[in-house]
Amino acid sequence: MNTNDLKETPHIKPNGVEIAETILLPGDPLRAKFIAENYLENPVLFNEVRGMLGYTGEYKGKKVSVMGTGMGSPSMAIYSWELINVFGVKNLIRIGSCGAMQTNIKLYDIILAMGAATNSNFAHQFDLPGQMPITASYELLEKAKKVADEKNYKVFVGNVLSSDVFYSANKTTATEKWAKMGILAEEMETTSLYLNAASAGVKALTILTVSDHMITHEQTTPEERQTSFTKMMEIALDIV
Protein backbone atom coordinates (compact mmCIF):
# COMPACT_ATOMS: atom_id res chain seq x y z
CA MET A 1 0.00 0.00 0.00
CA ASN A 2 1.09 3.54 -0.67
CA THR A 3 2.40 5.19 2.49
CA ASN A 4 1.77 8.82 1.62
CA ASP A 5 -0.88 9.44 4.28
CA LEU A 6 1.43 11.58 6.42
CA LYS A 7 3.16 13.42 3.60
CA GLU A 8 2.32 16.77 2.07
CA THR A 9 3.90 19.44 -0.11
CA PRO A 10 3.20 23.16 -0.56
CA HIS A 11 0.87 22.19 -3.44
CA ILE A 12 -0.63 18.84 -2.41
CA LYS A 13 -2.10 18.16 1.05
CA PRO A 14 -3.88 14.77 1.06
CA ASN A 15 -4.96 14.97 4.74
CA GLY A 16 -4.49 11.21 5.18
CA VAL A 17 -6.17 10.18 1.91
CA GLU A 18 -4.09 7.76 -0.14
CA ILE A 19 -2.90 8.79 -3.59
CA ALA A 20 -2.91 5.74 -5.86
CA GLU A 21 0.13 4.55 -7.79
CA THR A 22 -1.78 5.30 -11.01
CA ILE A 23 -3.13 8.81 -11.56
CA LEU A 24 -4.99 10.58 -14.36
CA LEU A 25 -3.88 14.17 -14.92
CA PRO A 26 -6.28 16.50 -16.74
CA GLY A 27 -5.21 20.12 -16.97
CA ASP A 28 -8.61 21.37 -15.80
CA PRO A 29 -9.39 20.56 -12.14
CA LEU A 30 -13.10 20.57 -12.98
CA ARG A 31 -12.42 17.74 -15.45
CA ALA A 32 -10.86 15.84 -12.53
CA LYS A 33 -14.06 16.44 -10.53
CA PHE A 34 -16.17 15.24 -13.47
CA ILE A 35 -14.15 12.02 -13.77
CA ALA A 36 -14.31 11.35 -10.04
CA GLU A 37 -18.06 11.88 -9.87
CA ASN A 38 -18.94 9.97 -13.04
CA TYR A 39 -16.40 7.13 -13.25
CA LEU A 40 -14.90 6.37 -9.83
CA GLU A 41 -16.51 4.41 -7.04
CA ASN A 42 -16.32 5.97 -3.57
CA PRO A 43 -14.21 8.97 -4.64
CA VAL A 44 -12.57 10.90 -1.81
CA LEU A 45 -11.13 14.40 -2.19
CA PHE A 46 -7.40 14.40 -1.43
CA ASN A 47 -6.42 17.88 -2.58
CA GLU A 48 -7.93 21.31 -3.03
CA VAL A 49 -4.87 23.51 -2.52
CA ARG A 50 -4.98 26.39 -5.06
CA GLY A 51 -8.23 24.89 -6.34
CA MET A 52 -6.33 21.99 -7.94
CA LEU A 53 -8.83 19.26 -7.11
CA GLY A 54 -7.61 15.71 -6.63
CA TYR A 55 -9.59 12.54 -5.85
CA THR A 56 -8.88 8.89 -5.11
CA GLY A 57 -11.43 6.15 -5.78
CA GLU A 58 -11.80 2.80 -7.49
CA TYR A 59 -12.41 1.84 -11.09
CA LYS A 60 -13.34 -1.80 -11.77
CA GLY A 61 -11.81 -2.80 -8.45
CA LYS A 62 -8.54 -0.94 -8.96
CA LYS A 63 -7.52 2.08 -6.90
CA VAL A 64 -6.92 5.14 -9.08
CA SER A 65 -6.47 8.85 -8.48
CA VAL A 66 -7.22 11.85 -10.65
CA MET A 67 -5.99 15.42 -10.21
CA GLY A 68 -5.81 18.64 -12.20
CA THR A 69 -2.39 20.03 -13.14
CA GLY A 70 -3.12 23.48 -14.53
CA MET A 71 -1.73 24.80 -17.80
CA GLY A 72 1.82 24.74 -19.09
CA SER A 73 5.05 22.88 -18.52
CA PRO A 74 6.01 24.53 -15.21
CA SER A 75 2.70 23.66 -13.57
CA MET A 76 2.83 20.06 -14.83
CA ALA A 77 6.47 19.87 -13.72
CA ILE A 78 5.63 20.81 -10.14
CA TYR A 79 2.68 18.46 -9.74
CA SER A 80 4.22 15.48 -11.55
CA TRP A 81 7.51 15.82 -9.63
CA GLU A 82 5.73 15.89 -6.28
CA LEU A 83 3.42 13.02 -7.18
CA ILE A 84 6.37 10.87 -8.26
CA ASN A 85 9.01 11.79 -5.72
CA VAL A 86 6.93 12.51 -2.62
CA PHE A 87 3.81 10.36 -3.02
CA GLY A 88 5.24 7.39 -4.93
CA VAL A 89 3.05 7.54 -8.05
CA LYS A 90 4.27 5.07 -10.70
CA ASN A 91 1.92 5.60 -13.66
CA LEU A 92 0.98 9.12 -14.77
CA ILE A 93 -1.53 9.53 -17.58
CA ARG A 94 -2.16 13.03 -18.85
CA ILE A 95 -5.60 13.45 -20.41
CA GLY A 96 -5.76 16.84 -22.05
CA SER A 97 -6.84 18.95 -24.97
CA CYS A 98 -4.79 19.96 -27.98
CA GLY A 99 -4.84 21.91 -31.22
CA ALA A 100 -4.65 19.74 -34.33
CA MET A 101 -1.94 20.50 -36.91
CA GLN A 102 -2.92 18.05 -39.66
CA THR A 103 -5.93 18.40 -41.95
CA ASN A 104 -6.94 14.74 -41.59
CA ILE A 105 -7.38 15.18 -37.84
CA LYS A 106 -10.77 16.54 -36.73
CA LEU A 107 -12.35 17.97 -33.58
CA TYR A 108 -12.79 15.31 -30.87
CA ASP A 109 -10.29 12.93 -32.49
CA ILE A 110 -7.94 11.25 -30.02
CA ILE A 111 -4.15 11.41 -30.13
CA LEU A 112 -1.71 9.18 -28.26
CA ALA A 113 1.51 11.15 -27.82
CA MET A 114 4.31 8.75 -28.71
CA GLY A 115 6.83 11.57 -28.40
CA ALA A 116 7.04 15.31 -27.96
CA ALA A 117 8.89 17.94 -29.91
CA THR A 118 9.33 21.07 -27.83
CA ASN A 119 10.51 24.67 -27.68
CA SER A 120 10.93 24.34 -23.90
CA ASN A 121 14.27 24.44 -22.11
CA PHE A 122 13.03 22.10 -19.37
CA ALA A 123 15.61 19.38 -20.12
CA HIS A 124 18.48 21.81 -19.48
CA GLN A 125 18.32 21.17 -15.73
CA PHE A 126 19.43 17.54 -16.18
CA ASP A 127 22.78 18.65 -17.64
CA LEU A 128 22.74 15.90 -20.27
CA PRO A 129 25.67 15.63 -22.72
CA GLY A 130 23.29 15.67 -25.71
CA GLN A 131 19.61 15.73 -26.61
CA MET A 132 17.13 13.53 -24.75
CA PRO A 133 14.31 11.89 -26.77
CA ILE A 134 11.06 12.84 -25.05
CA THR A 135 8.92 9.72 -25.33
CA ALA A 136 6.03 7.97 -23.65
CA SER A 137 6.15 4.70 -21.76
CA TYR A 138 5.83 2.08 -24.49
CA GLU A 139 3.93 -0.18 -22.10
CA LEU A 140 1.24 2.44 -21.44
CA LEU A 141 1.17 3.49 -25.10
CA GLU A 142 0.67 -0.10 -26.27
CA LYS A 143 -2.10 -0.69 -23.73
CA ALA A 144 -3.87 2.54 -24.69
CA LYS A 145 -3.81 1.65 -28.39
CA LYS A 146 -5.15 -1.83 -27.62
CA VAL A 147 -8.00 -0.42 -25.50
CA ALA A 148 -8.87 2.11 -28.21
CA ASP A 149 -8.96 -0.63 -30.86
CA GLU A 150 -11.15 -2.83 -28.68
CA LYS A 151 -13.58 0.07 -28.21
CA ASN A 152 -13.39 0.86 -31.93
CA TYR A 153 -12.22 4.39 -31.16
CA LYS A 154 -10.25 6.07 -33.90
CA VAL A 155 -6.91 7.27 -32.57
CA PHE A 156 -3.79 8.83 -34.04
CA VAL A 157 -0.42 7.77 -32.67
CA GLY A 158 2.57 10.03 -33.21
CA ASN A 159 4.49 13.09 -32.11
CA VAL A 160 3.01 16.26 -30.66
CA LEU A 161 4.47 19.69 -30.03
CA SER A 162 4.77 20.55 -26.35
CA SER A 163 5.06 24.31 -26.45
CA ASP A 164 5.74 26.99 -23.86
CA VAL A 165 3.97 29.54 -26.09
CA PHE A 166 0.19 29.81 -26.42
CA TYR A 167 -0.07 33.26 -28.01
CA SER A 168 2.67 33.80 -30.58
CA ALA A 169 3.40 36.63 -33.00
CA ASN A 170 4.33 34.11 -35.71
CA LYS A 171 1.92 31.28 -34.87
CA THR A 172 0.96 30.59 -38.49
CA THR A 173 4.56 30.20 -39.63
CA ALA A 174 5.45 28.02 -36.65
CA THR A 175 2.44 25.78 -37.22
CA GLU A 176 3.37 25.26 -40.86
CA LYS A 177 6.93 24.31 -39.97
CA TRP A 178 5.95 21.82 -37.28
CA ALA A 179 3.14 20.36 -39.39
CA LYS A 180 5.62 19.75 -42.21
CA MET A 181 7.65 17.61 -39.79
CA GLY A 182 4.60 15.42 -39.15
CA ILE A 183 3.62 16.87 -35.77
CA LEU A 184 0.02 15.90 -35.09
CA ALA A 185 -1.01 18.57 -32.61
CA GLU A 186 0.13 21.18 -30.12
CA GLU A 187 -0.27 21.16 -26.35
CA MET A 188 1.78 22.48 -23.42
CA GLU A 189 2.48 19.84 -20.75
CA THR A 190 3.97 16.63 -22.13
CA THR A 191 7.63 17.67 -22.11
CA SER A 192 7.92 18.10 -18.36
CA LEU A 193 5.72 15.08 -17.64
CA TYR A 194 7.77 12.69 -19.80
CA LEU A 195 11.12 14.04 -18.64
CA ASN A 196 10.19 13.92 -14.95
CA ALA A 197 8.96 10.35 -15.43
CA ALA A 198 12.12 9.33 -17.29
CA SER A 199 14.40 10.83 -14.65
CA ALA A 200 12.60 8.87 -11.91
CA GLY A 201 12.18 5.61 -13.82
CA VAL A 202 8.37 5.65 -13.80
CA LYS A 203 5.79 5.48 -16.61
CA ALA A 204 3.95 8.33 -18.31
CA LEU A 205 1.60 8.75 -21.25
CA THR A 206 -0.28 11.68 -22.74
CA ILE A 207 -3.73 11.07 -24.27
CA LEU A 208 -5.23 14.08 -26.02
CA THR A 209 -8.58 15.08 -27.47
CA VAL A 210 -8.61 17.67 -30.22
CA SER A 211 -10.33 20.77 -28.85
CA ASP A 212 -9.43 23.16 -31.66
CA HIS A 213 -7.80 23.12 -35.06
CA MET A 214 -4.83 25.31 -35.83
CA ILE A 215 -5.41 25.17 -39.59
CA THR A 216 -9.22 25.34 -39.94
CA HIS A 217 -9.61 27.38 -36.70
CA GLU A 218 -12.56 25.28 -35.52
CA GLN A 219 -12.89 25.03 -31.74
CA THR A 220 -14.93 23.55 -28.91
CA THR A 221 -16.42 25.43 -25.97
CA PRO A 222 -14.99 25.40 -22.41
CA GLU A 223 -18.03 23.41 -21.27
CA GLU A 224 -17.44 20.78 -23.97
CA ARG A 225 -13.79 20.47 -23.00
CA GLN A 226 -14.74 20.01 -19.38
CA THR A 227 -17.32 17.24 -19.72
CA SER A 228 -17.47 15.70 -23.20
CA PHE A 229 -13.99 14.29 -23.73
CA THR A 230 -15.18 10.95 -22.40
CA LYS A 231 -13.46 8.62 -24.88
CA MET A 232 -9.95 9.53 -23.74
CA MET A 233 -11.10 9.27 -20.12
CA GLU A 234 -12.32 5.74 -20.75
CA ILE A 235 -9.10 4.73 -22.50
CA ALA A 236 -7.02 6.07 -19.62
CA LEU A 237 -9.15 4.33 -16.98
CA ASP A 238 -9.20 1.02 -18.82
CA ILE A 239 -5.40 0.80 -19.00
CA VAL A 240 -5.33 0.97 -15.20
With 90 as the cut, is the pLDDT of residue 223 above it? no
Average pLDDT, the chain: 94
pLDDT tens profile 173-188: 889 999 999 999 999 9
The fraction of the chain above a pLDDT of 90, given in percent, is 86
User: What pLDDT does residue 108 have?
Assistant: 93
Residues identified as active-site: 212
Domain boundaries, the chain: 22-238
> Is 97 annotated as contributing to ligand binding?
yes
> Is 176 annotated as contributing to ligand binding?
no
Say how far apart CA 193 and CA 80 lie, in whole Å: 6
The reported pTM is 0.94
User: What pLDDT does residue 1 have?
Assistant: 42
pLDDT tens profile 197-213: 999 999 999 999 999 99
Which comes out higher in pLDDT, residue 225 or 219? 219
Topology, domain 22-238 = Rossmann fold (3.40.50)
Mean pLDDT, residues 36-60: 97
pLDDT tens profile 89-139: 999 999 999 999 999 999 999 999 999 999 999 999 999 999 999 999 999
User: What pLDDT does residue 128 have?
Assistant: 95
Question: Closest Cα to residue 24, out of 110, 97, 94, 111?
Answer: 94
User: What pLDDT does residue 166 have?
Assistant: 86
> Is 162 annotated as contributing to ligand binding?
no
Question: Closest Cα to residue 113, out of 128, 130, 98?
Answer: 98
Return the beta strands (E) in 49-135 as ranges.
54-59, 62-67, 91-100, 110-118
Residue 192 has phi, psi (to 5 degrees) of -70, -35
Report whether 128 contacts 189 (CB < 8 A).
Answer: no
> Is 12 annotated as contributing to ligand binding?
no
